[in-house]
């Protein structure tokens, strides 16, 4: 967890993006600290994915601001930057793990090339170095290194998700966004992936914003939660506090309906 002295990595102030009344996200404010994992939970349609795409620079807010403390320790306003600057940030200091690995991988190139791509974009041209990094990251995410030249389409869903994680982490991002990264996987595959993600987040000191409708995933990974309902945050707090003692009636309903046997 972050030290209370450090500055927020991400500062979100009054962010709104609406497709219609209560459709999207509105008046969203929170700070994310270095090394912190923030879970965004709420029912389907509450605006979690919309918020994630605004936070990650993919969709401009109608109003509000998001500032990010970059690796040079400069605070930058995400939407005052150019589109190209935001794209660069997403390829370097940030990562984005899509729910469907096919949206986050290049399906037509090998696993090794998928991992090496971000390094190449950052100027690494040495084949030996790219190969070494790919092997290292395959090992980190527990993929068989013998599959380095295989296409991701020959991988299982769980393996593709591990590859997507490796592809993101190779550039040593400081902040990773994840949209339901374990949804659609078998329960046992999910459990192993969650263990791996927990280990990587801890070992690398990553800051993460993760959208999930699965409170068990939130419990395992997140330090803090924001609960969304109809485009707004209804409650925010430490994960254990919210899951064990929710204050808002909607959070109470959400927790009781999902966690009760």
Question: Which chain residues interact with ligand ATP by CB under 6 A?
Answer: 19, 23-24, 42, 44-50, 213
Q: Residue 184 and residue 190: Cα distance in Å, rounded?
A: 9
Q: What's the DSSP call for residue 123?
A: T
Q: Which is nearer to ligand ATP, 55 or 193 (CB)?
A: 55
CB closer to ligand ATP, 56 vs 140: 56
Q: Which is nearer to ligand ATP, 113 or 233 (CB)?
A: 233
Q: How far is the CB of 138 from ligand ATP (least distance, A)?
A: 30
Distances (CA, A) of 177 to 166, 245, 253: 14, 27, 26
Residue 242 Cβ vs ligand ATP, minimum distance, rounded to whole Å: 17
In Å, what is the CA distance from 243 to each residue of 39, 49, 219? 12, 21, 8
How many other CB atoms sit within 10 Å of the CB of residue 223? 17
Rounded least distance, CB 43 to ligand ATP, Å: 7
**What's the closest the beta carbon of residue 19 comes to ligand ATP, in angstroms?**
3
Residue 147 or 213: the one with the smaller Cβ distance to ligand ATP is 213
Nearer to ligand ATP by Cβ, of 1 and 19: the residue is: 19
- Least Å distance, CB 56 to ligand ATP, is 13
Length of the chain: 261
Q: How far apart are CA 231 and CA 144, in angstroms?
A: 42
CB 114 within 8 A of CB 106: yes
Contacts of 92 (CB under 8 A, 6+ apart): 118, 121, 122, 171, 173
The CB-of-213 to ligand ATP minimum distance in angstroms stands at 5
Nearest residue to 207 via CA among 55, 104, 87 = 55
Give 25 or 141: the residue with its C-beta nearer to ligand ATP: 25
């Amino acid at each position: 967890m972050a030290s209370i002295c450090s500055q927020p990595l991400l500062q979100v102030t009054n962010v709104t993006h609406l497709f219609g009344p209560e459709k999207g996200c509105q008046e969203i404010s929170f700070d994310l600290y270095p090394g912190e994992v923030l879970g965004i939970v709420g029912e389907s349609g509450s605006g979690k994915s919309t918020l994630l795409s605004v936070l990650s620079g993919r969709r401009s807010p109608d109003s509000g601001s998001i500032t990010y403390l970059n690796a040079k320790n400069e605070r930058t306003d995400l939407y005052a930057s150019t589109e190209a600057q935001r794209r660069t940030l997403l390829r370097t200091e940030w990562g984005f793990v899509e729910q469907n690995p096919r949206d986050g991988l290049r399906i037509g190139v090998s696993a090794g090339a998928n991992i090496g791509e971000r390094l190449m974009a950052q100027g690494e041209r040495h084949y030996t170095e790219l190969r070494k990094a790919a092997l290292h990251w395959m090992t980190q995410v527990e993929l068989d290194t013998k599959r380095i030249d295989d296409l991701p389409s020959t991988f299982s869903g769980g393996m593709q998700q591990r590859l997507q994680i490796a592809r993101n982490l190779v550039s040593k991002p400081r902040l990773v966004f994840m949209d339901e990264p374990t949804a659609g996987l078998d329960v046992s595959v999910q459990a192993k992936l969650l263990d791996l993600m927990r280990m990587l987040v801890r070992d690398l000191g990553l800051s993460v914003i993760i959208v999930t409708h699965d409170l068990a995933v939130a419990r395992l990974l997140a330090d803090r939660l924001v609960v969304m309902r109809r485009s707004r945050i209804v409650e925010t707090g430490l994960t254990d506090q919210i899951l064990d003692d929710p204050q808002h009636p909607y959070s109470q309903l959400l927790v009781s309906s999902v966690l009760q046997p």
